[in-house]
Amino acid sequence: MSALDMPVGELITFAVTIAASGVVSGLLAGIFGIGGGAVLVPVFYQVFQLLHVDESVIMHLAVGSSLAIIVPTAIRSFTSHKAKGAVDMELLRKFLVPVPIGVVLASLTAAYISSAGLRSIFAVIMLLVAFRMLFNRESWRLGTRLPENPALSMIGVVIGYLSTLMGIGGGVLNNTFMTLFGRPIHQAVATSSGVGVLIAIPGTIGYIWAGWGNPLLPIASTGFINWIAVALIIPLAMIVTPYGVTLAHNLSKRKLEIGFGLFCVFVAVRFIISLV
Averaged pLDDT for residues 61-80: 86
Helix (H, G, I), strand (E, B) or coil at 221: strand
The whole-number pLDDT of residue 138 equals 64
DSSP letters of 12-67? HHHHHHHHHHHHHHHHHHHHHSSTTHHHHHHHHHHHHHHTT--HHHHHHHHHHHHH
Helix (H, G, I), strand (E, B) or coil at 225: strand
For residue 159, pLDDT over 70 is answered with yes
d(CA 59, CA 274): 11
User: In 3D, which of 13, 2, 112, 22 has the Cα closest to residue 65?
Assistant: 22
For residue 144, pLDDT over 80 is answered with no
| Assessment of whether the complete model's pTM goes beyond 0.85 | no
User: In 3D, which of 215, 209, 213 has the Cα closest to residue 107?
Assistant: 209
Q: Contact, 216 vs 208, CB < 8 A?
A: no
For residue 177, pLDDT over 50 is answered with yes
Confidence grade of residue 11 (pLDDT, cut at 50, 70, 90): low
State which H helix or E strand residue 200 sits in.
helix 185-210
pLDDT one-digit tens code per residue, 191-214: 888 998 999 999 999 999 999 989
Averaged pLDDT for residues 170-198: 84
- What separation in angstroms does the CA of 207 have from each of 59, 107, 160, 162, 200? 12, 6, 14, 14, 10
For residue 185, pLDDT over 60 is answered with yes
pLDDT one-digit tens code per residue, 126-138: 888 788 778 866 6
Averaged pLDDT for residues 8-35: 67
The whole-number pLDDT of residue 41 equals 81
For residue 93, pLDDT over 80 is answered with yes
d(CA 255, CA 50): 35
For residue 3, pLDDT over 70 is answered with no
